[in-house]
Structure 1
Amino acid sequence: MKFFIAFAVLVVAASALTPERKAEVDAIGQECLTSSGVERPKVADLRKGVFADDDNLKKFISCVFIKTGGMNADGTFNKETIKKDFGERKEVLDAALLCTDSHGATVDETAYLAYKCFRTNAPTDYKPNW
């Protein structure tokens, strides 16, 4: 569970989510951890900014993105949800929206690239402190 909670922090990255939304994201992450088959150490590595080229990790990220509403099942991004979840700081929202231009060969790859882009472009003080 600790691994998932850490990933939920990755996804919401200290945004202005309500306690209810944070609880929803936590539950989604746990579900995606199980359904993707990702190895927990790979999720832990994400906390450190290490992006393994692993299909199950990519499935995990896309699962979380889709179930939280930030990404549609076809791999396109729901910018309204992103604005709602990340809109409190303009520079964070700008980084998130910039990364909606990420495109991979699959939905899972697109989610992975978008998350990697966000971690690269988000303000340093906004990234999780791990």
Structure 2
Amino acid sequence: MSKKHDPMRDPLKNVRGLGSAKEGVQHWWVQRVTAIALVPLVLIMLVTILKLAPADHATVVAAFHHPLLAIVALLTVLALFWHLRLGLQVVIEDYVHTESTKIVTLLGITFAVFLVGGIAALSVLKLFFGA
């Protein structure tokens, strides 16, 4: 089955056979799923941090030795940074109009989000394994 040529679509999309909803729907769903997942995760982490705020370092490390808390913390980091990356991508795609600037900015944001997210995940793992 061949696709008809649509003059309203970008010529490259005509060649690839991509429409406007081929990629954006998945992005939209993942952004919504991460947002919904962040609600309970952030609430749990907020309560935990508020309870541990007056505690000493040893008490905090002991609390994060519990596998459930470590898993919740890691899931929070993962969902938070994934959601951040998706949101920043939308902003860049909507408001940066020069293609080269858009690509460089998206690469920089992706690198920064993975770097900071990796550091956050490593911090949780260090607390869990007691370093």
**TM-score (ref. length: structure 2):** 0.31
Larger Rg over CA atoms: 2
Between Structure 1 and Structure 2, the one with more helix by share is 2
